[in-house]
Amino acid sequence: MKLRIGLWTIAGFLVAAGWAVYAFASTPPAFTSADPITTLVRLTCPIAILGSHYPISLYVCLLANAATYGLIGLTVETLRHGVSHAK
């Protein structure tokens, strides 16, 4: 179970890193409210919602997204573990 939660955390880190690379590689302005990809960014990287109102460094964004995905993974894996033992 620890391995799966770790994989969720790594996935969250990689998702945020992927969006950071996309933002740095795209032509300015990277993300505007009119850009339809902004919705996808906010769904896959929840810290981006807060980042649209306050300045957040890249490192904090990466760590926060990894922690968010880790908590989601903990919840999912706990529920999966409980359901498999209930049978």
Enumerate the domain spans of the chain.
2-82
- Residue 68 and residue 13: Cα distance in Å, rounded? 9
Extract the residue ranges of the chain whose pLDDT is less than 50: none
Give residue 85's pLDDT.
67
Distance of CA 82 to the CA centre of its chain: 25
Residue range 2-26, pLDDT digits in tens: 899 999 999 999 999 999 998 888 7
Q: Report pLDDT for 83.
A: 73
**pTM (2 d.p.):** 0.82
